[in-house]
Amino acid sequence: NEITSEQAEKCIQQIYYRRTTFNDNDMRKSICGSLKHLGSDLYTSPVHFLHELIQNAEDNFYEPSIIPCLRIELNHGYILLSNNEQGLRARDVFAICSLAVSTKTIEQEHIGEKGVGFKSVFGASNEPMLISHAWKFHFHVPGLDAMSYITPLWITDKDLPKCISKQISTFPQYTHLYLPLKFQAHTSEANSFLDQVIKAVDPCILLNMRQLKKLEIVDERQNKVTIIEKQFIGSTKLEEQSSVTFEDFTFLHLSGSVIRLHTSTGYSTFRV
């Protein structure tokens, strides 16, 4: 359901109050230890957060009339992800601001965990910022302790960085995640990290997606735009064999889909 900016701000302030006034020291230490692990130590790959966010985009809800798309903009000091989903719900915000809460259900056949997966962004940024309709908040780590990983801070439009304000104002209905990098801008470390992020976007990742149809990678450092788009061509089946035996199982009348991936270098067709 749609909520007002005032309601969203009140919700964020309530979460902030609960996080900052939690005084059970033993429990707080235990939670902080788990949060540190989730926030930056859980994944061995420095760009694993990108796979988590792509999976979250796949799991989001979309209007039937639009083509689900994730835009990834990279510049010397930040990454901005913009997704044309329906927008964050209150339950999503609570999951993001909790230790290990998921909004995904078995019935949805989703892989990712919106709350858990979001924690991986702290491997790239100490101040991730989320803008989605009425919701506008960010995190700041390290704070007083690791509870800062789940302690949201409300922001206003004047707090939005100028470098992303144009994209946000152009697509106000999108959900935007702004990640100012941990690394100093214009350094070899930052450029190496951003290069790894770009390489991590494998065009074939869309083959495993049911909803997400388009990835747009915008490298502002080189004024380069790469678009990967999936097109469903039709159904297919194994003509030569009506059944296939694998180990102790027999599969009858296997069928699949013909998928075409369009990139800047042309297109490839797959049977999946």
Find out whether 222 and 231 touch, Cβ atoms under 8 Å: no
CA 73 – CA 161 distance, rounded (Å) = 14
DSSP string over 199-234: HT--GGGGGG-SS--EEEEEETTTTEEEEEEEEEEE
Q: What is the mean pLDDT of residues 221-249?
A: 70
Cα distances (angstroms) measured from residue 39 to each of 31, 59, 144, 205: 12, 21, 15, 24
Distance CA 71, CA 176 (A): 9
Query: Does one domain contain both 143 and 265?
Result: no
Q: Which residue has the tokens 């994730």?
A: 70
Is residue 190 within 8 A of residue 198, CB to CB? The reply is: no
Question: What pTM was computed for the model?
Answer: 0.84
Q: Has residue 45 got a pLDDT over 90?
A: no
Closest CA to 87 of 159, 128, 135, 142: 135
Secondary structure element (H or E) that encloses residue 187, with its range: none
Q: Within this chain, do residues 163 and 248 fall inside the same structural domain, yes or no?
A: no
Do 212 and 251 fall within a single domain? no
Q: In this structure, are 268 and 165 located in the same domain?
A: no
* 172/264 same-domain check: no
H or E element in which residue 262 lies: strand 255-263
Domain hosting residue 175, numbered range: 5-222
Q: Are residues 125 and 232 in the same domain?
A: no
Please check whether residues 41 and 171 belong to one and the same domain. yes
Label the pairing between strands 214-219 and 69-75: parallel
How many domains are contained in the chain? 2
pLDDT greater than 80 at residue 181? yes
Residues 173 and 265 in one domain: no
Same domain, 238 and 198: no
Same domain, 131 and 261: no
Q: Output the pLDDT for position 251.
A: 54
Same domain, 62 and 15: yes
User: Any alpha helices (H) in 97-234, and if so which ranges?
Assistant: 114-118, 162-170, 188-199
- The domain that holds 69 is classified in CATH as 3.30.565.10
Residue 5 has pLDDT above 80, yes or no: yes
Using one digit for the tens of pLDDT, what is the confidence trace for 58-107?
A: 999 999 999 999 999 999 999 999 999 999 999 999 999 988 645 454 44
Q: Kindly report the average pLDDT of the chain as a whole number.
A: 83
**pLDDT for 48:** 87
Q: What are the tens digits of pLDDT across the range 114-153? A: 556 788 898 899 999 999 999 999 999 887 778 888 999 9
